Amino acid sequence: MHLDVRIPIGLLFVVFGAILAIFGLLSDPAIYQSHSLGLNINFAWGVVQIAFGAVMLWLAFRGRKAKAQISGGVRQ
Amino acid sequence: MLQHSIQLHSIDYVLLVTYFVFVLGIGFVLRRTVSGSKDFFESGRSLPAWICALGFIGANLGAQEVMGMAASGAKYGMMTSHFYWVGAVPAMVFVAIFMMPFYYGSKARSVPEYLKLRFDEKTRGFNALTFACMTIMSSGISMYALAKLLSAILGWNFHGCILVSGVIVLAYIFMGGLTSAIYNEVLQFFLIVFGFLPLVLLGLKDVGGWDGLVAKLVKPATDAGFAPDTWTHSWSHTGSAATNPMGVEWFGLAMGLGFVLSFGYWCTDFLVVQRAMAAKDMGAARRTPILAAVPKMFFPALVILPGLIAIALHSAGGSFQLPSKNGGLDYDMVVPTMLAHYFPTGMLGLGLTALMASFMSGMAGNVTAFNTVFTYDLYQGYIKKDGNDAHYLAVGRWTTVVGILASMAAAYAAASFNNIMDILQLVFAFVNAPLFATFLLGMFWKRTTGHGAFFGLIAGTVAAAIHHGLSLPHGAAAGIKGGWLGAVHVYPSEMAQNFWTAIFAWSTCFIATILISLLTRQKKTDEELGGLVYSLTSKIKERDARWWQRPALLGSIVLALAVVLNLLFW
């Protein structure tokens, strides 16, 4: 049984996104003035990564369900 | 020199360590799927096309690519896109449609093994040996570059970097074999996209969008003595070698880079071909390079654009300045300088993780290709022919250890004798340039003989060496750069010299292989050549497949898109 590669990808991006988004909320806004043109890039890009990770996990979950239905159908 | 210019905080380290945990975790989970050598070396030929496709470009997306293309973007401008829209994409479509049926359809487990089935033992041996050395050297160079970069910008310990990167790559390949390497390449692919995309977006916003960038790129072009729009066009200034910073004209570009070098790499290099051969069926194997060509086509936005933005900002004379080296700009520092400039702590950790991911994917690609070629083509071919499967699996695992150790040795060799590395890379360039002629003739002309292939390859390699020995790039001294036989021709740039060396090597190999084949007897029967040569292989019927599963149709769409991109940035 193979591991679905979308699971580790989804997990990694959800974890990365969460860390960055939370850090973005807590961090001193001054660091964004001197680096990312005033934009809180940690929070913004963290949210984007959470969304991407969630889509990957959802695709993996859907794939698993479809597979279970097929093998269930074969058994009948 | 950019001494320890980047300060990392605990959040950056948290991201880096999290990534390492995932990488090793994938290997750990996959270790149970490896029950025989086929699983370890070929992923059991079970992977879907999209995974193979992302692995296909992931393995090629080493740090030399990411940092090198950004450097070229700053140095040569939009002309760098030729490596994608003229170089990679057409070759990827060609290997998918015309060559994959023979690689995947024959019983060959590696590219050198195909040469044995099609030609003879000596051609296989020559290719396997040079390829094995080349993969180790590349993986060593990757390791060395990573350690050098991290010790320069972060002040990390050079030896520690080599050890840690080597051990992590070793661990996940040792446990999960090729599947583990490919899964990690897919992960690394997404990480590189997510790590660099915000850099490009912030940079573009900073220079005032594409229009602002075009306006700001006038100065670097005119400063260098070229037409104002040189940096933003790919073909317009290639009428003559003197009117563009690459120093090449359209013919050398199209033939040398577009035909010989790119087709030689994408169609014959087992490092990438191995990813497609891991696919679950012929259709998936053929779709792999085509699906890979789609993101590849848009990579210039991710890897070349940062270079364009960096040189635009540098020329504008603001707070962003590239470091200098030997009196010129240190173009290799484009990506690290951009990261330090635009990313605050947090995102900086993500950017560095992406950079490290690109180093590791490049290394792992080489090591998996090495252990397969060593085990199947050198060990099984010459040392122990009749071992059982468990024996070859064990050999493959321990070859991975040896491969990593040898890469580390190569990294130290690169650190201590810079010239030795240059010489070796040069020798391998000579060996690689003619190879595509051998495959083209082998696959499409059934009369090509083993002697023809072998001696044609040698002739091509010698031709490359002679051409290099007789020519010199402008401004270079005779020696490692060429001219060691006495320079009779001076090229405007090193790149022009490389392209023409490749053209001479390919043509010599092509002609010599045909002549020698006509003079020697074909020892293989038509039955033996079935499945290996175009005219003796039954054509694959695509009528049953749905439109999005047909390689020829998909390939045509991808090629049309590449033409559009060429015209857009003409």
CA-to-CA distance for B511 and B442, rounded, in angstroms? 13
pLDDT tier, B514 (very low <50, low <70, confident <90, very high otherwise): very high
Dump pLDDT digits (tens) for B240-282: 888 888 888 898 888 888 888 889 888 998 989 999 999 998 8
CB pairs under 8 A between A and B: 82
pLDDT tier, B534 (very low <50, low <70, confident <90, very high otherwise): confident
Closest Cα in chain A, distance from residue B5 (Å) = 14
- Judged against a pLDDT cut of 70, whether residue B111 lies above it is answered with yes
- Judged against a pLDDT cut of 50, whether residue B211 lies above it is answered with yes
Of A9, A19, A35, the CB nearest to B186: A9
pLDDT at B2: 47
- Judged against a pLDDT cut of 50, whether residue B26 lies above it is answered with yes
| Test mutation, A1, A6, A9, A28, chain B, max B CBs within 10 A | A9
- Judged against a pLDDT cut of 50, whether residue B3 lies above it is answered with no
What is the dotted CATH code of the domain comprising B12-416? 1.20.1730.10
The token pair at B431 is 């060996």
Contact B76, B245 (CB under 8 A): yes
What dihedral angle (degrees, nearest 10) is formed by the CA atoms of B535, B538, B544, B549?
-50
Token pair 């993969």 is at which residue? B135
* B341 to A52: CB separation less than 8 angstroms, yes or no: no
Contact B360, B184 (CB under 8 A): yes
- Chain B CA closest to residue A32: B344
- Parse chain B into domains and list their residue ranges: 12-416, 417-537
- Judged against a pLDDT cut of 60, whether residue B225 lies above it is answered with yes
Quickly list H helices, B278-333. 282-303, 305-316
The mean predicted confidence, pLDDT, of chain B is: 89
- Judged against a pLDDT cut of 60, whether residue B522 lies above it is answered with yes
AA identity, residue B528: E
CA-to-CA distance for B282 and B279, rounded, in angstroms? 8
Dump pLDDT digits (tens) for A21-57: 999 999 888 888 888 888 899 999 999 999 999 999 9
Closest Cα in chain B, distance from residue A75 (Å) = 23
Any residues with CB less than 8 A from the CB of B460 and at least 6 apart, and which? B433, B434, B435, B437, B505, B506, B508, B509, B510, B512
| Residues B308-343: b if buried by 16+ CB within 10 A, e if exposed | bbbbbbbbeeeebebbeeeeebbbbbbbbbbbbbbb
Contact B393, B176 (CB under 8 A): no
- Judged against a pLDDT cut of 80, whether residue A71 lies above it is answered with no
- Chain B CA closest to residue A6: B187
- Judged against a pLDDT cut of 50, whether residue A75 lies above it is answered with no
The rounded percent of chain B whose pLDDT value lies above 90 is 51
Between these two residues, B494 and B436, which has the higher pLDDT value? B436
CA-to-CA distance for B65 and B233, rounded, in angstroms? 21
Any residues with CB less than 8 A from the CB of B177 and at least 6 apart, and which? B30, B34, B39, B40, B41, B43, B368, B396
Dump pLDDT digits (tens) for B285-333: 999 999 999 999 999 999 999 999 999 999 888 888 888 887 788 888 8
Between these two residues, B191 and B479, which has the higher pLDDT value? B191
pLDDT tier, B66 (very low <50, low <70, confident <90, very high otherwise): confident
| Test mutation, B10, B29, B347, B352, chain A, max A CBs within 10 A | B347
pLDDT at B393: 93
CA-closest candidate to residue B279, choices B267, B295, B292, B262: B292
Dump pLDDT digits (tens) for B325-363: 877 888 888 998 999 899 999 999 999 999 888 888 888
Strands B489-491 and B471-473: parallel
Give the dihedral sign, CA B35/B41/B44/B46: positive
Assess A47–B contact: CB distance below 8 Å, yes or no: no
**What average pLDDT does the segment B410-420 reach?**
80
Strands B328-329 and B324-325: antiparallel
pLDDT at B418: 65
Paired strand residues for B490: B472
Q: What is the ipTM for the molecules in this complex?
A: 0.91
pLDDT at B495: 84
- Parse chain A into domains and list their residue ranges: 7-71
CA-to-CA distance for B244 and A64, rounded, in angstroms? 54
* A45 to B11: CB separation less than 8 angstroms, yes or no: no
CA-closest candidate to residue B411, choices B143, B156, B158: B143
Assess A23–B contact: CB distance below 8 Å, yes or no: yes
Under an 8 Å CB criterion, which residues of B touch A? 11, 14-15, 18-19, 22, 25-26, 29-30, 33, 46, 51, 179, 183, 186-187, 190-191, 194, 198, 202, 205-206, 341-347, 350
Dump pLDDT digits (tens) for B122-162: 999 999 999 999 899 888 888 888 888 888 888 889 999 99
pLDDT tier, B461 (very low <50, low <70, confident <90, very high otherwise): very high
AA identity, residue B2: L
- Judged against a pLDDT cut of 90, whether residue B424 lies above it is answered with no
pLDDT at B316: 87
| Radius of gyration of the CA atoms of chain B, in A | 23
CA-to-CA distance for B181 and B173, rounded, in angstroms? 6
Which chain B residues are within 8 Å of A35, Cβ to Cβ?
Answer: 341-344
